[in-house]
Amino acid sequence: MLALQDKWIWDFWLFNEGTLDEPFWHVWFLQADKSLGDESLRHWNVSHGHATSRDLKHWSPLGTSFAPAPGPAWDDMTVWTGSVLRDGPDGRSGGWHLFYTGNTEANQGRRQRIGHAISDNGHDWSRVGDGLVLDLLPGDPVSARYEEYLDGPWDGRAMRDPWVMRDPEGEGWLMYFTARVNAGDELNTRGAIGLARSSDLQHWTLLPPVYAGGEFGQLEVPQVFERAGRWYCLFCNAGEHWSRAYAERYAAAGHGSPVWGSHYLVAEHPLGPWQVAEGPFLDGAMPCRRYAGKLAETRDGLVLLGFDYWSEAGEFLGTVSDPLPVALDPASGRLTLAPAG
């Protein structure tokens, strides 16, 4: 696993700079000093760490690669989860781009926004301008589709966890992100996957949510990919953020009570329509075992990694798990964790 003696690790994102036969994996992750004492303080004392690996099991930590900006700035309080890509035609060369979530001290971290930084080596990042590339705008009818919810049970306005990839059906780029819609009496029906589009990775146009199915209060850390002709959107959430209707349907299908963990949406097209995959959560448990899962393509097939959450003794672990094999049923398209070996 990936573990640091003096820091907790949680959400992370992967990039294979090599090939399936000769992989060279990068992982960037949220980290916070264990000297804080209380793991719940980690979200507000965060930076990005970086490590590399040949096999997703043995890691070489490279230290801190990105941190909040000096204040005052829109991201002077936190830099949260994101994704990394390279802009070359083969996807493994060209300039490095980091898209990330930021918060500012000026509003006590209550208004999440999305930023952009670039690098020559994947480790030392520089913001493009002030970094800010996506926000909700007053008076904009598309922005009004999204929830500007600054009080109540959430950590403010949800606009985070950007997953950026090339548009598979044309020029330019697509950005998926965690959001909530401005509709629904039950808070746990408002979770959505937001969407934006760009031709140059610098200027982004906000679009209506690509998914707002009413099942969850939030769908965190999306990862969108194609496999065997189907599209998948991995996400994670906590059982207390399931809608009443989804929890009842889940129980009626024989899957039990709500869990914490990672599951996925499925679609025939990257822009949907998306729906929650049938069956039990891909990687769910109560208490939480792993969270914020990421799927990776290896020579031996798909694997899932997550950050290790709670130990059996109730201790927050803050490490990244070893990869777990994932099986895909070619007929149904269903993903399941496969027994190791």
**Which tokens sit at 337?**
């964790």
Q: How confident is the model at residue 338 (pLDDT cuts 50, 70, 90)?
A: confident
The yes-or-no verdict on residue 150 having pLDDT over 80 is: no
Q: How confident is the model at residue 339 (pLDDT cuts 50, 70, 90)?
A: low
Residue 69 neighbours by CB distance under 10 Å? 18
What the chain holds in terms of domains, given with CATH numbers, is: 67-73+82-337 (2.115.10.20)
Q: 86 with 80: CB under 8 angstroms? A: no
Mean pLDDT of the chain: 96
Q: How confident is the model at residue 183 (pLDDT cuts 50, 70, 90)?
A: confident
Q: 129 with 193: CB under 8 angstroms? A: no
**Which tokens sit at 8?**
């907790």
The yes-or-no verdict on residue 298 having pLDDT over 80 is: yes
What 8-state DSSP symbol labels residue 330?
A: T
Q: What percentage of the chain has pLDDT greater than the value 70?
A: 99
The yes-or-no verdict on residue 133 having pLDDT over 80 is: yes
Each residue of 80-91: pLDDT tens digit? 999 999 999 889
Q: Which residue has the higher pLDDT, 1 or 222?
A: 222
Instruction: Determine the average pLDDT of the residues in 236-264.
Output: 97
Q: How confident is the model at residue 206 (pLDDT cuts 50, 70, 90)?
A: very high
Each residue of 11-47: pLDDT tens digit? 999 999 999 999 999 999 999 999 999 999 999 999 9
Nearest to 265, CA basis, from 321, 314, 213: 213
The yes-or-no verdict on residue 195 having pLDDT over 60 is: yes
The yes-or-no verdict on residue 76 having pLDDT over 90 is: yes
Q: Which residue has the higher pLDDT, 314 or 35?
A: 35
Provide the pLDDT for residue 341: 42
The yes-or-no verdict on residue 340 having pLDDT over 60 is: no
Provide the pLDDT for residue 223: 98
Instruction: Determine the average pLDDT of the residues in 160-175.
Output: 95
Instruction: Determine the average pLDDT of the residues in 259-264.
Output: 98
Q: How many helices (H) and strands (E) does the chain have?
A: 1, 22
List the 173-180 sheet strands across, edge first: 159-166, 173-180, 191-198, 204-211
Q: How confident is the model at residue 170 (pLDDT cuts 50, 70, 90)?
A: confident
Contacts of 279 (CB under 8 A, 6+ apart): 253, 255, 334, 336
Instruction: Determine the average pLDDT of the residues in 159-184.
Output: 95
Q: What percentage of the chain has pLDDT greater than the value 90?
A: 91
Nearest to 269, CA basis, from 317, 296, 322, 229: 229
